Amino acid sequence: MQKYDYLIVGSGLFGAVFAHEANKRGKKCLIIDKRNHPGGNIYCENVEGINVHKYGAHIFHTNDKGIWDYVNQFAEFNRYTNSPVANYHGKMYNLPFNMNTFYQMWGTKTPAEAQAKINEQKAESGIKNPQNLEEQAISLVGKDIYEILIKEYTEKQWGRKATDLPAFIIKRLPVRFTYDNNYFNDKYQGIPIGGYNKIIEGLLDGIEVKLEVDFFEDREYWENIAENLVFTGKIDEYYDYCYGKLQYRSLRFENKILDEENFQGNAVVNYTSSNEPYTRIIEHKHFEFGTQPKTVITYEYPDEWSEGKESYYPINDEVNSELYRKYKELAEKEDNIIFGGRLAEYKYYDMHQVIGSALTKVKKILQ
């Protein structure tokens, strides 16, 4: 007799939302996670009274009122607006690219002047049909912005030349001809007051969770404990890498507690020059407008992925996309297994998209 309706492997947003919704519908769920905490990559660690985003900055944003209302059941959100700043050889620029950035770059004061400058540089480049990231970026914002704010930063981030990266990576680049430093265009945005753990705690309330449990160490046992399996880990690992390994980019974090109240005056400062090995410094207290006497900063280093490192960004190039397609075909033949989330779907998801995906899956399966 199987003890559970659903075994959920992974307690990140997909797994937690699925478990919460299945539990509401009377299903018995067990979550296992190999980490020593629930919440996946949105987990926060309390250091000096500051909620430190352990796996990189997470800023909630969505245009979907249903999803916004959904997360607000579990935590109240503050009015935090993502307005990163870029540091290039000590000179500061506002992000995303907007009238403030253009003024800092060229001294242009009107949208017409800024647009003319960009058009002039686009015309000089002669790029008609962008074939890679470099050409795509220049055809969007011109050469100056590309060279100062995109090129070296992107090459650090991906560990590859911009000319070797696909154009689609940068197609979503926000470019505005208004003095608006809000990175996202979404209507709803903020950080949960008290940190993301509040949301995970709310989602997992009343659900059995076992931490520091690796599904693959006793796979046969776990596969037979429940009628259905929700798998949020790496899809290639689930199939024992039978077609080969999917590639990722990883990240490495270096945290420092500083005996000062305010280190950089902003939650996120990007370092766009190749002189610095890190891509950004995060000062966590600014996500929640903290006034603690100390501050915690994180240097974020991009890292080539290898076995044992965290898999952060799927590399959705042609080779990996073809490989994933083969794994997806295997997954589609399964009757009692649901694959969901960033690793199982080999897809970069924002938080609201993961929640939306989990809610859609639950509705479809548990009508």
342 has catalytic annotation: no
Q: How many CB atoms lie within 10 A of CB 315?
A: 19
**Residue from 172, 217, 221, 260 carrying the catalytic annotation:** 172
**Residue from 183, 249, 327, 349 carrying the catalytic annotation:** 249
Task: Fill in the DSSP letter of residue 249.
Answer: E
The CA distances from residue 317 to 69, 137, 164, 236, in Å, are 35, 18, 10, 16
Task: Fill in the DSSP letter of residue 239.
Answer: T
Q: In sequence order, what DSSP letters do the residues of 262-315 get, joined into one string?
A: -SSSSSEEEE-STTSS-SEEEEGGGGGT---SSEEEEEEEEEE--TTS---EE-
Which residues, other chains included, contact 123 with Cβ-Cβ below 8 Å and sequence gap of 6+? none
**Residue from 43, 70, 155, 176 carrying the catalytic annotation:** 176
Q: How many CB atoms lie within 10 A of CB 251?
A: 19
252 has catalytic annotation: no
Radius of gyration of the chain (CA): 22
348 has catalytic annotation: yes
Which residues lie across from 189 on neighbouring strands?
A: 61
**Residue from 179, 239, 241, 348 carrying the catalytic annotation:** 348
**Residue from 280, 342, 345, 346 carrying the catalytic annotation:** 280
172 has catalytic annotation: yes
Q: How far is 10 from 343, CA to CA, in rounded Å?
A: 10
Measure the CA angle with vertex 70, ends 68 and 73; round to 5°.
110
Q: How far is 81 from 286, CA to CA, in rounded Å?
A: 10
**Residue from 33, 152, 155, 300 carrying the catalytic annotation:** 300
Catalytic site residues? 172, 176, 249, 280, 300, 348, 350
